[in-house]
């Protein structure tokens, strides 16, 4: 064990932050998730969070993540139902994201000034069972209670979520007023569209200090949205964001890289890995303007906001969070998505499509499917089947929305969780916690109604009949008398989505927000905040198989070349069709790549298998996992695989670059699983950050033959005499120890006793050093 490892182990014994596995482990690279970027020169303690297969350790009954957003504003101080740390089903969740912190005018993370009225750090709840403060902590509020309950449930990790819909371009002050200062748009991108590295550095340093000060396990970035699509995100941000659109993605990439590196360095110093995640959009429209989301390599995992796919911002009445397309989406139909040949009939407003988008650049286990515990809805709906795929249009749009026509959102008793517009009026949206929607379905006006401004004796008009579409995996309530449509989520849809997560190998689920879950109060005869949906996910996941930890679905070489691939020169916004970036290939090796060198890569089947090039390189799709055309019922497989060759007259010298004009027709995240072949040898590319990969130079060690699986040790001896001592079942071996067993040499990655070499798998403790 090295001196550094001894220090880490001692620190763990003293403060209880390092697991036994971590204290023994020396080869942290063996625990790194597939495809995750590592900060150069930093020994990131991955084994404090991940096992030797690169899967997150969450407890024996948590095979998949259940991530819940816990919001700071449901304090109960206004008389409406509170949702506090004692209400969280701590034994059912794996991660909690506190929403929200913001970026102040100084580019630093903040939750506002300390004080008794600050929910995060100063507020208290006298007399509320379980909300007693931990006197050992120097702050009060939600942060105190989160850490108090983490002591009782140490398997649960907490992250501070920064940003959100209302605080991406500004922040909400202590009086509930929005301040047009701070925010991601300014901090990450200058007014001329260039990267604001100084602001990014200040932010990242403050984020590291913040997680340490308040006991968080990492940072979640909810930047809505660094896209080049005009008028995206909060209308209050449009004037600011639209002027910077061309540079938002560059700023976002610099932000995430800087934050990853500063968290890695802090983790190496502290002996524990700090998590970095994002809340990512799922709409193909928004993602089209986010280039190829080249920041996924910096993330432990992505939380896909696979909801808000339909809502009262427009007239198209449909599910908030459909899992699959049904070929009938009225919004997609209007824009010709089903009839334009290049799209292949693929509908992109559903969770399955969004999952496949991110699957293009990440293992399934680093992707979490988002679920809403709230409704979206319209009134005055016409057409459709019980409202589904009907329309509801109005010109009476919320003040400040920037819209002259919009959807006719549901109001009143059908809009319990409404926001207010710039004029202080109710914003029509049909937004309700699921516990209220369940009461509407049951014909009950809950006793909480008065707290939301409804007079005593309020009666419901009409009947809220539940409907369910198994193809969409979507329930909804339809009030035929009022022509009100409320898109909901309930046990049937949640169980179906949880099974999808299990079957596809996803990492788990993310919920916005925990306070919307429901439970039945028999004594009162009404639904109230509860844990029904979260429990359903926990039950589905507790005995599930391990999630998918490997990105590639084909065998790739374990030796890699330092050949850089980047995606650049994206046309902006609505000019970006077809999607046609330049793929810039840069040779950073010491050898010339000859003309005719073949590159292969995978791109997500969120786009059809009809990609092409405009460079004369002869690009062709050589395999498509999804061949059914439309995606009704879901996309099959994960990838389209491409082959393309350097022109015979265009060798690539060391340090030189060549550009391929790549054309495709629906958004994909960054293509991955690259290989490069020449001279009878095939290599992977270093930029894929695949597990078990060794970077070599063509003039260096003997290349690995084509087809050697990624993760197979390189430099395998060709034969000889076993010189290491025979493995002894009773002996203790520390990391780095070598033994002989069954005519092979073996090297221990970390401490072990009794584990027979050859039985622990390619990511296990014993690394096969070859025949001897």
Q: Count helices and strands (H / E) in the chain.
A: 13, 35
Length of the chain: 772
From residue 510, how far is each of 99, 150, 164, 507, 670 by CA, in Å? 13, 19, 15, 10, 23
pLDDT value for 178: 92
pLDDT value for 5: 32
CA dist 340 and 608 (Å) reads 12
Average pLDDT over residues 13-34: 57
Strand positions, DSSP E, 530-577: 559-561, 563-568
Average pLDDT over residues 385-391: 98
* pLDDT-wise least confident of 10-24, 163-177, 210-224, 526-540: 10-24
pLDDT value for 751: 67
Contacts of residue 201, Cβ cutoff 8 Å, sequence gap at least 6: 258
Residue 496 has pLDDT above 60, yes or no: yes
Q: Which residue has the higher pLDDT, 758 or 22?
A: 758
pLDDT value for 407: 98
pLDDT of 297-336, one tens digit each? 999 999 999 999 999 999 999 999 999 999 999 999 999 9
Residue 750 has pLDDT above 90, yes or no: no
pLDDT value for 704: 38
Q: Which pLDDT band holds residue 715 (cuts at 50, 70, 90)?
A: very low
Q: Which pLDDT band holds residue 762 (cuts at 50, 70, 90)?
A: low
Q: Which pLDDT band holds residue 385 (cuts at 50, 70, 90)?
A: very high
Q: Give CA angle at 514 (511, 517), nearest 5°.
A: 105
- Mean pLDDT of the residues in the chain: 91
pLDDT value for 24: 42
CA dist 118 and 105 (Å) reads 19
The residue behind tokens 């660094």 is 226
Residue 21 has pLDDT above 60, yes or no: no
Alpha-helix residue ranges (DSSP H) falling in 39-90: none
pLDDT value for 171: 96
pLDDT of 31-51, one tens digit each? 999 999 999 999 999 999 999
The CA R_g of the chain, rounded to the nearest whole Å, is 27
CA dist 607 and 335 (Å) reads 17
Residue 22 has pLDDT above 60, yes or no: no
Q: Which pLDDT band holds residue 699 (cuts at 50, 70, 90)?
A: low
pLDDT value for 17: 34
Residue 708 has pLDDT above 60, yes or no: no
Q: What DSSP assignment string belongs to 315-347?
A: SB---SS-SSB-S--HHHHHTTTTT-GGGTT--
Structural domains of the chain, with CATH? 1-61 (no CATH), 559-712 (2.60.40.290), 716-772 (2.10.10.20)
Q: Which pLDDT band holds residue 709 (cuts at 50, 70, 90)?
A: very low
Average pLDDT over residues 698-707: 48
pLDDT of 143-190, one tens digit each? 999 999 999 999 999 999 999 999 999 999 988 899 999 999 999 999
The b-or-e profile of 553-590 (16+ CB within 10 A means b, else e) is eeebbbbbbbbebebeebeebeebebbbbbbebbbbbe
Residue 473 has pLDDT above 50, yes or no: yes
Half-sphere exposure in the Cβ direction for 351 (13 Å, CA)? 32
CA dist 699 and 280 (Å) reads 42
pLDDT of 258-268, one tens digit each? 999 999 999 99
Average pLDDT over residues 712-726: 50
Cβ-contact 593, 325 below 8 angstroms: no
CA dist 715 and 747 (Å) reads 13
């Amino acid at each position: 064990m090295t001196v550094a490892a001894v220090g880490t182990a001692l620190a763990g014994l003293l403060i209880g932050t390092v697991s036994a596995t971590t204290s023994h482990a020396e080869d942290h690279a063996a625990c790194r998730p597939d495809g995750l970027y590592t900060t150069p020169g930093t020994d990131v303690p991955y084994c404090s969070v991940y096992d030797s297969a690169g899967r997150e350790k969450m407890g024996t009954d948590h095979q998949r993540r259940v991530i819940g957003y816990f919001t700071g504003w449901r304090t109960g101080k206004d008389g409406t139902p509170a949702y506090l740390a004692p209400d969280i089903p701590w034994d059912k969740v794996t991660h909690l994201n506190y929403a929200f912190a913001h970026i102040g005018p100084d580019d630093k993370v903040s939750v506002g000034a300390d004080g008794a009225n600050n929910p995060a750090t100063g507020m208290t709840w006298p007399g509320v069972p379980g909300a007693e403060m931990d006197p050992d902590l120097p702050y009060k509020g939600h942060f105190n209670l989160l850490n108090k309950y983490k002591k009782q449930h140490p398997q649960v990790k907490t992250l501070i979520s920064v940003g959100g819909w209302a605080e991406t371009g500004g922040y909400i002050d202590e009086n509930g007023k929005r301040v047009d200062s701070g925010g991601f748009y300014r901090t990450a991108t200058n007014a001329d569209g260039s990267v604001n590295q100084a602001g990014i550095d200040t932010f990242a340093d403050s984020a590291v200090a913040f997680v340490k000060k308040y006991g968080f396990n990492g940072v979640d970035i909810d930047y809505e949205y660094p896209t080049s699509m005009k008028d995206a995100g909060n209308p209050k941000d449009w004037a600011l964001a639209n002027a910077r659109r061309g540079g938002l993605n560059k700023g976002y990439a610099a932000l995430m890289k800087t934050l990853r590196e500063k968290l890695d360095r802090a983790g190496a110093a502290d002996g524990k890995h700090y998590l970095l995640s994002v809340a990512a959009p799922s709409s193909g429209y928004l993602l089209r303007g986010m280039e190829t989301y080249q920041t996924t390599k910096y993330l432990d995992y992505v939380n896909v906001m696979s909801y808000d796919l339909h809502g009262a911002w427009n007239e198209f009445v449909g599910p908030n969070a459909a899992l699959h397309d049904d070929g009938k989406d009225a919004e997609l139909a209007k824009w010709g998505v089903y009839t334009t040949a290049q799209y292949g009939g693929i509908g992109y407003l559903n969770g399955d499509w969004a999952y496949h988008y991110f699957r293009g650049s990440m293992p399934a286990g680093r992707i979490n499917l988002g679920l809403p515990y709230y409704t979206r809805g319209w009134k005055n709906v016409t057409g459709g089947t019980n409202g589904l795929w009907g329309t509801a249009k109005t010109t009476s749009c919320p003040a400040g929305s920037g819209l002259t026509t919009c959807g006719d959102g549901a109001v009143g008793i059908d809009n319990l969780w409404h926001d207010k517009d710039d004029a202080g009026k109710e914003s029509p949206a049909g937004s309700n916690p699921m516990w209220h929607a369940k009461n509407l379905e049951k014909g009950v006006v809950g006793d909480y109604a008065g707290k939301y401004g409804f007079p005593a004796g309020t009666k419901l008009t009409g009947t809220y009949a539940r409907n369910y579409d198994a193809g969409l995996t979507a329930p909804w309530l339809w009030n035929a008398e009022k022509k009100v449509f409320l898109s909901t989520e309930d046990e049937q849809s949640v169980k179906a989505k949880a099974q999808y997560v299990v079957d596809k190998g996803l990492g788990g689920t993310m919920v916005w927000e925990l306070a919307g879950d429901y439970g039945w109060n028999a004594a009162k005869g009404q639904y109230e905040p509860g844990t029904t949906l979260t429990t359903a996910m926990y039950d589905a996941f507790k005995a599930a198989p391990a999630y998918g930890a490997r990105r590639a679905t084909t065998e790739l070489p374990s030796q890699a070349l330092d050949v850089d691939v980047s995606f650049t020169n994206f046309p902006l916004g609505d000019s970006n069709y077809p999607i046609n970036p330049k793929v810039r290939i840069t040779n950073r090796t010491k050898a010339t790549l000859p003309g005719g060198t073949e590159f292969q890569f995978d791109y997500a089947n969120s786009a059809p298998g009809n990609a092409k090039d405009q460079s004369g390189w002869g690009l062709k799709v050589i395999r498509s996992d999804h061949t059914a055309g439309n995606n009704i019922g879901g996309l099959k497989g994960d990838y389209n695989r491409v082959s393309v060759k350097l022109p015979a007259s265009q060798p690539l010298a060391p340090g030189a670059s060549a550009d391929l004009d790549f054309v495709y027709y629906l958004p994909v995240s960054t293509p991955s699983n690259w290989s490069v072949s020449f001279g009878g040898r095939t290599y992977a590319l270093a930029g894929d950050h695949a597990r078990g990969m060794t970077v070599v130079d063509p003039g260096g060690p003997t290349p690995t033959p084509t087809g050697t699986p990624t993760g197979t040790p390189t430099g395998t001896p060709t034969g000889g005499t076993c010189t290491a001592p025979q493995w002894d079942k009773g002996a203790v071996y520390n990391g780095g120890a070598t033994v002989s067993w069954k005519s092979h040499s073996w090297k221990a990655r970390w401490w072990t006793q009794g584990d027979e070499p050859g039985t622990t798998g390619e990511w296990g403790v014993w690394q096969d050093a070859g025949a001897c």
